[in-house]
Amino acid sequence: MTTIAIFGVGLIGGSLALCFKGKPGLHVIGHSVRPSSVEKYIQRGVVDEGTTSMREAAEAADFIFLCVPVGNLEEYVQKLSTYKLKPGCIITDVGSTKASVAACARKHDLQGAHFIGGHPMAGSERSGVEAASSILFENAYYVLTPDPSTPAAAVDRLKALLADTKAHIVRVDAVEHDEIVGAISHLPHIIAAMLVNQIRGYNEGNPLYASLAAGGFRDITRIASSDPVIWRDILINNKDVLLSLLADWQEETNKVIQVLENGDGAAIEEAFLTAGQFRSQLPERRKGMIHSIFECYVDVADHPGIIGKIATELGNHRINLSNLQIIESREDVPGILRLSFREQTDLDQAVELLHSSGYSTHF
């Protein structure tokens, strides 16, 4: 039996637990300092076993996943270095920054355990185990940042385990990771939050701002609703990279000011043309990338009007369906309906609603 201990059973830790739980030969232990949280993980069926003892979970584990906020990772690595871990145990994390935790692991004697930094490039603005999903990582990139000195066999063991996430594993240097992810994830989160706050200020003087905010504003600001503590830790941890990116952003903003002052229409066209071209080249069906498709299959009885009924029910709950397709519909067999959504949250809500209405869904 391979035992996996998860510290921080929230959105990411809970989603990993759901990927592993029930797979042959795997046993998942979830840890929280709060007994009520441990009870919740078990009740929700996210873990096989729960404990409030960090030592107990860590010493039983073949794999340890640290899924706590970035600001807590180092204290976890330090504590693990004082335990009697299984020889060859693999410690990994899912933090959104990689250089500092890698440096911390290098500093401690992990007594035969191997640290391999990790970062799944998938997530959501939601948090907590309630938002966890077994399909969160499907088709997403999952970055590993092992030190060059990490034995290849240890990296291969972790990769083999992560196959259950259905993510694409890529190896990236930890410092390079922080530079790139700073640009494609951390800077956009700053911009989204600051933009919302700018509009929030205007809205205090005139509530029409919020009333008229439509697709454009919502599309660019979804991630402004992300967890404040998670993002406080990420931004402070990646401060140097972000200060440099913000300086570039300031320069870009100055260029736009100049273009507008000059009434330079050609420059505006050029900016939207090049941006649109680059954006359309982004890979489509990868979570963490733009235009992900989130799908589920629903078994439906062969009743007239059933499809309309499901679509109406989703609409009544403001769940945005992006596509609907009948896979099988013959007189004598039940049909299968494929429902597609653009957002993980829409899929999660739809599945919950369909279950409560007695439909079975599968992925």
Ligand X SMILES: O=C(O)C(=O)C[C@]1(C(=O)O)C=C[C@@H](O)C=C1
Ligand Y SMILES: NC(=O)c1ccc[n+]([C@@H]2O[C@H](COP(=O)([O-])OP(=O)(O)OC[C@H]3O[C@@H](n4cnc5c(N)ncnc54)[C@H](O)[C@@H]3O)[C@@H](O)[C@H]2O)c1
Write out the residues near ligand Y by the rule CB under 6 A: 8-13, 67-70, 72, 94-96, 119-120, 123-124, 127-128, 227, 230, 234
Q: What angle do CA 284, 288, 290 make, to 5 degrees?
A: 40
H helical segments located in the chain: 11-20, 35-43, 54-60, 73-80, 99-107, 152-162, 174-181, 187-205, 208-212, 215-221, 228-237, 239-262, 265-280, 306-316, 344-356
Under the binding rule (CB under 6 A), the answer on residue 121 touching ligand X is yes
Task: Round to whole Å and give the CA distance between 119 and 145.
Answer: 8
- Determine the Cα–Cα distance for residues 336 and 343; give it in Å rounded to an integer: 21
Round to whole Å and give the CA distance between 55 and 123.
Answer: 28
Measured from the CB atom, is 14 or 288 closer to ligand X?
288
Regarding 133 and contact with ligand X (CB under 6 A), the answer is: no
Of the CA atoms within 13 Å of residue 202, those in its CB half-sphere come to: 11
Which of ligand Y, ligand X, none has residue 288 at its interface (CB below 5 to 8 Å by kind)? ligand X
| Candidate ranges 122-130, 163-171, 205-213, 262-270; the one touching ligand X (CB under 6 A) | 122-130
Q: Does 125 bind ligand X (CB under 6 A)?
A: yes
Q: What binding mask, one character per residue, do residues 174-213 give for ligand X by CB under 6 A, x or -?
A: -----------x----------------------------
- The answer to whether residue 69 forms part of the interface with ligand X (CB under 6 A) is no
Q: Among ligand X, ligand Y, none, what binds residue 223 when CB lies within 5 to 8 Å by partner kind?
A: ligand X
Q: How far apart are CA 211 and CA 213, in angstroms?
A: 6
Nearest distance from C-beta of residue 83 to ligand Y, angstroms: 16
Q: What does the DSSP 8-state code read for residue 116?
A: E
The interface partner of residue 67, options being ligand Y, ligand X, none and the CB cut-off 5 to 8 Å by kind, is: ligand Y
Q: Is 288 in the site for ligand X (CB under 6 A)?
A: yes
